[in-house]
């Protein structure tokens, strides 16, 4: 077939791949859309594909395991067989998950070029599994689509061998394209029992798997001087129950826990909130979109999105309860004069990436993998 293969496996990847999928469609470039199965239930995956108006994946898998080693190895095996069948000219992956690493490794072992969307991010915190993944994928990639100049410099400092392009981040494309639709379609704000609230997420391994850190986060949210709205990741719900924190948390008067939400509902919560408190990397970027522009408190010790901090959108506040509560107070009291433009691009990253791929195709630089002929 020799088409280009686009691979996603989690909801952030689906969101960030959506502008690329649409740009391929707009340019009539054939592609194969694959869901590698890292997030396999409706709320964590399929709902986002439907809301974003993406085509049904040509191939979809369900990896019903939680061990990182088993999950990664199974995706390598499944996608290796798929690539032998499809014989792609190029594989595009986005981000830093186990599925992204597995997809890239499967392609490399079959001599298929890899394009890494969102290349060059660095937290310099090796406690984070995502930091391992993104570094390995960057060094295995033929094409590296860096969202910012800082990301480009990270790649150059590490002497990656692939071609580097600064394109912006496709998450800004997604917010700018879909927030107007969300404002028309979502009714989520009618279900929120607070007029003013902070939007919270927490899911990273180093936070929710550590009972001390998780307790700090829970106590911060329960004692927060602003009501908390918390769409709860399944992993976090499991850990709250496991560490006997669930009952007090769910009964707190100023906390409203929601199930995992679709993209439109979440966009509207970001638009309507007073601030965002999160350990997510993607939310730090989304909050800088010109049609959102929200303050973000990052409940981590580091961030791979320093541009959001430098431009005043985000502040790394750590995981100590008192530090988090103090940061919430300061944010409530503060006045913010955010830049009008996002440090992560102008909303055209997807088109830029596809334009580069098209140029490489036309120049004959992207050929079918020799080992798959």
Q: Which residues are catalytic?
A: 203
Alpha helices (H) along the chain: 11-26, 47-51, 68-86, 98-109, 129-140, 149-157, 170-185, 205-208, 211-222, 234-242, 246-250, 263-272, 281-286, 306-310, 321-333, 349-362
Q: Which two tokens stand for residue 373?
A: 């002929």
The H or E element spanning position 92 is strand 90-94
Phi, psi of 198 (to 5 degrees): -100, 135
Q: Are 35 and 69 in contact (CB under 8 A)?
A: no
Angle at the Cα of 29 from the Cα atoms of 88 and 94, rounded to 5 degrees: 60
Euclidean distance between CA atoms 92 and 29, whole angstroms: 14
């Amino acid at each position: 077939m020799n088409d280009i293969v686009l691979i996603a496996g989690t909801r952030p990847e689906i969101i960030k791949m959506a502008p690329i999928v649409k740009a391929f469609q707009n340019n009539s470039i054939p592609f194969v859309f694959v869901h590698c199965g890292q997030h396999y239930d409706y709320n964590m995956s399929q709902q986002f594909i439907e809301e974003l108006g993406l085509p049904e994946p040509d191939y979809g898998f369900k990896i019903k395991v939680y061990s990182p080693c088993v999950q990664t190895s199974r995706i390598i095996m499944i996608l290796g067989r798929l690539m032998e069948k499809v014989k792609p000219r190029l594989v595009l992956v986005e981000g830093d998950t186990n599925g992204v690493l597995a997809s890239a490794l499967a392609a490399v072992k079959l001599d298929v070029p890899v394009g890494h969307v969102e290349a060059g991010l660095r937290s310099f915190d090796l406690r984070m599994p995502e930091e391992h993944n993104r570094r390995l994928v960057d060094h295995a990639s033929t094409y590296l689509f860096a969202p910012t100049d800082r990301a480009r410099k990270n790649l150059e400092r590490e002497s990656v061998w692939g071609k580097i392009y600064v394109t912006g981040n496709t998450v800004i494309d997604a917010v700018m394209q879909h927030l107007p639709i969300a404002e028309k379609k979502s009714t989520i704000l009618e279900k929120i029992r607070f007029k003013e609230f902070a939007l919270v997420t927490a899911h990273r391994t180093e936070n929710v798997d550590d009972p001390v850190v998780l307790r700090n986060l829970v106590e911060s949210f329960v004692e927060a001087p602003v009501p908390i709205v918390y769409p709860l990741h399944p992993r976090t719900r499991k850990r709250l129950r496991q560490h006997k924190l669930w009952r007090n948390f769910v009964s707190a008067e100023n906390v409203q826990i929601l199930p995992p939400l679709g993209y439109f509902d979440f966009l509207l919560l970001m638009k309507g909130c007073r601030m965002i408190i999160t350990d997510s990397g993607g939310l730090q970027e989304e909050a800088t979109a010109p049609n959102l522009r929200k303050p973000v408190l990052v409940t981590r010790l580091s961030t791979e999105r320093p541009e959001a901090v430098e431009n005043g959108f985000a502040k790394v506040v750590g995981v100590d309860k008192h530090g988090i509560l103090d940061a919430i107070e300061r944010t409530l009291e503060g006045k913010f004069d955010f830049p009008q433009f996002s440090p992560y691009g102008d909303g055209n990253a997807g088109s830029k990436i596809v334009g580069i791929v098209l140029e490489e195709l036309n120049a004959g630089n992207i050929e079918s993998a020799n080992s798959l002929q």
